[in-house]
Amino acid sequence: MRKTISIIVCAVIALVAGGLIIVNRRNAAANDALAAARQLEFTVNDQQMIYAYDENSEHYVTFDTQMKRKNGDVFDRNYSGIEFADILRDLEIEITDSTTVKAVCGDQYEIELTAKEILNPGNIYLVTRENGEELDEESGPFMLVVNYDEFSTRWAKNVVKITVNE
């Protein structure tokens, strides 16, 4: 009897795992298609919209920043992108003190951004280039750079979705 129950439990676990793998692959394929078209999914108050990223935008800038390590090493970096607040304005998303913004990465890493961080000029950028070159596969096609994060611990590589709750 116990052996039969164990077999049934294992079969159910295998079916659930298989279903999750299929769903994850479909989501990854959808994210890849958006990324190839230089588009990013935004969900605003449970409504989905697609942002078409445009490197020809007047808001697209190149800037220098530094990455610091806890051991004291400092690395100069040069990125090109659009300030995140400008993207939200383009999408007509109003940011208030009660707004929550979450960036979701391809590996399901998430960071939450505060209104204060977003509205701080020169702080958060959605970038597509490092040192003039497109971001590598691990980092891009979209990466959030939190410029004033001293140790770059909240930078988000391979951003695939932004969730906003106003």
Q: Domain of residue 19: give its range.
A: 1-36
The pLDDT tens digits of the residues spanning 110-147 come to: 999 999 999 999 999 999 999 999 999 889 899 999 98
**pLDDT average, residue stretch 5-13:** 66
- The Cα–Cα gap between 160 and 103 comes to 8
**Count of domains in the chain?**
2
The pLDDT tens digits of the residues spanning 41-83 come to: 999 998 999 999 999 999 999 999 988 877 888 888 899 999 9
Does residue 116 sit in the same domain as residue 160?
Answer: yes
Does residue 59 sit in the same domain as residue 72?
Answer: yes
Does residue 92 sit in the same domain as residue 16?
Answer: no
Does residue 12 sit in the same domain as residue 90?
Answer: no
The pLDDT tens digits of the residues spanning 83-110 come to: 999 999 999 999 999 898 999 999 999 9
Does residue 110 sit in the same domain as residue 151?
Answer: yes
Does residue 56 sit in the same domain as residue 119?
Answer: yes
Using a 10 angstrom Cβ sphere, with 0-12 exposed, 13-18 middle and 19 or more buried, the burial of residue 128 is buried
Does residue 77 sit in the same domain as residue 21?
Answer: no
Does residue 9 sit in the same domain as residue 71?
Answer: no
Q: What is the pLDDT of residue 118?
A: 95
Does residue 105 sit in the same domain as residue 129?
Answer: yes
Does residue 113 sit in the same domain as residue 57?
Answer: yes
Does residue 63 sit in the same domain as residue 94?
Answer: yes
Does residue 62 sit in the same domain as residue 1?
Answer: no
- Residue 100's CATH number: 3.90.420.10
